[in-house]
Chains A and B, each alone.
Chain A
Amino acid sequence: MDGAPAGLPVIDVDAVRRVLEEYAERGWTDGLPVMPVTESYLAEFLEQTSRGPDEVLLSMPHLNRACTVRVAAINAAMAGCRPEYFPVVLAAWSALEAEGYVTRGIWQSTTGTAPMLLVNGPIREQLGLNSKGNVFGSGFRANATIGRAIRLTAINAFGLRPRELDQATQGNPAKYTACIAENEEESPWPPFHVEHGFDASESTVTAMTMRSVVHIEARHTTVPEQLGRDLADTVRRTGALIHETISACIALGPEHASLFAGAGWTKDDVRRFVYEHAVNSREALAAVGKDAVSGKTRWRLSSEHPDATADTAAEQGSGNVVSVLNSEQAVQIVVAGAQNAGVSAVIETFGPRGGPPATATVESASA
């Protein structure tokens, strides 16, 4: 065939392939192909922010490494972001820094956590961020590439390559990308960011350090207490316990959120119910060898272990009931997913067990 079909640009496919292979050979990818970045393409990203390209976004002193706005932009472009997504990526870095675990080496841990980003506000609609059907799944460029921008930066700016500085035993699928938006339109409650003091007209990114997303089936019930116990039962599972307590973000499907709200429950009511019911008996903990804590690390272990000492619940004389949450604030609640089934999820987080979430505002386009 001579030439390209009329109306299509002429490109040298071999040249594109050579560029992609070059990026892969240099170890600049997460295993998937990345978008090649030129200075002119990079400039389009940098135009999206008032922050200077050399401004440091986040430092990891223990690695002697830092990430600048410019490096974050390069990786966002490589991840496949459109330039207008970049303010969300920048807000994600601010939220990750505020969250605090990242700068203390959590991305190197054997636990294998991934950053989970939650987006609120008008930017969701502007960028086409998915908050509804398949919210944790694939198919939406903004979600896919904003989350991936963080991973590529972890690899390329901080050198956190698997089996090297990243010692994850198994990791989890969210290490490719994990960015959801809240389904504010189908939530019966104020949006997550409004609940935490932001204006509804602001856009925000909240960062969490997640270990897993646990699916909950509860299509059968219209009784809020039954649904609440199903959620609490998932939150309390003993397999989640390495420390004395845990934290969680419950992503309620709109149907479940409506069930609670229809019964007159506020978000705080759900939070309180889960807090009160996310408990294990002393026997259940003993059965898995987690009925005490190490006197050195405070990690859970058997009361028969030579380092064992009483856990906080025992010290406080709580009898046979051992809570996995240290406060109601250790449970965050968002609404996400489609209004089509009684399905929710518990995002198991490694993070603040109480206190406010790590949320940052997205710089507006007019800045």
Chain B
Amino acid sequence: MLERAGVPTVSICTDAFVVPARAMADVYGAPEFEFVTIPHPIASLSPPQIEANVRPVITEVVRILAGG
């Protein structure tokens, strides 16, 4: 919805939520919507562990934001 309002957007979810995320994208008529996924879980991790999971996907986040 933000994208449709002209705001570059990227959704990041853990791999446990890829199927429901895809289902929601279908509901909104955007089956091609791109997600970035990181390993599950998040809630029980320390900040350094989260950073370690996020670092590998940063280039992917930037690529999607840039419309690549």
Contacts and interface: CB of A to CB of B under 8 A. Distances in A.
Interface of A: 63-65, 108, 159, 163-167, 306
B19 A164 contact: yes
11 contacts: A64-B28, A65-B27, A159-B23, A163-B19, A163-B20, A164-B19, A164-B23, A165-B27, A166-B20, A167-B20, A306-B47
Interface of A: prevailing SS: loop
Contacts of B20: 108, 163-167
Given A159-B23, A167-B20, 8 more contacts: A64-B27, A64-B28, A65-B27, A163-B19, A164-B20, A166-B20, A167-B17, A306-B47
B24 interface: yes
A152 to B, nearest CB: 19
B40 to A, nearest CB: 11
A283 to B, nearest CB: 22
Interface of B: prevailing SS: helix
B34 to A, nearest CB: 19
Given A108-B20, A164-B20, A167-B20, A159 B47 contact: no
User: 9 closest Cβ contacts across the A-B interface?
Assistant: A164-B23, A167-B20, A165-B23, A63-B27, A64-B27, A165-B20, A163-B19, A306-B47, A164-B20
A62 to B, nearest CB: 8
A251 to B, nearest CB: 32
B35 to A, nearest CB: 15
Contact of B27 (A159, A163, A166): A159
A289 B52 CA distance: 24
Contacts of B27: 63-65, 159, 165
A306 B24 CA distance: 32
A159 B20 CA distance: 11
Contacts of A166: 20
A165 B28 contact: no
A65 B24 CA distance: 12
A63 B24 CA distance: 7
A269 to B, nearest CB: 40
A166 B20 CA distance: 7
Contacts of A165: 20, 23-24, 27
A167 B21 CA distance: 10
Contacts of A65: 27
A167 B20 CA distance: 7
Nearest to B46: A306
Most chain-A CB neighbours within 10 Å: which of B23, B28, B47? B23
A165 B20 CA distance: 5
Contacts of A167: 17, 20
B8 to A, nearest CB: 22
Interface in B4-48: 17, 19-20, 23-24, 27-28, 47
A166 B27 CA distance: 13
Nearest to A163: B19
Contacts of A64: 27-28
Contacts of A108: 20
Contacts of B28: 64
Nearest to A165: B23
B19 to A, nearest CB: 6
A63 B17 CA distance: 17
A47 B47 CA distance: 60
A129 B24 CA distance: 37
B46 to A, nearest CB: 8
A64 B23 CA distance: 12
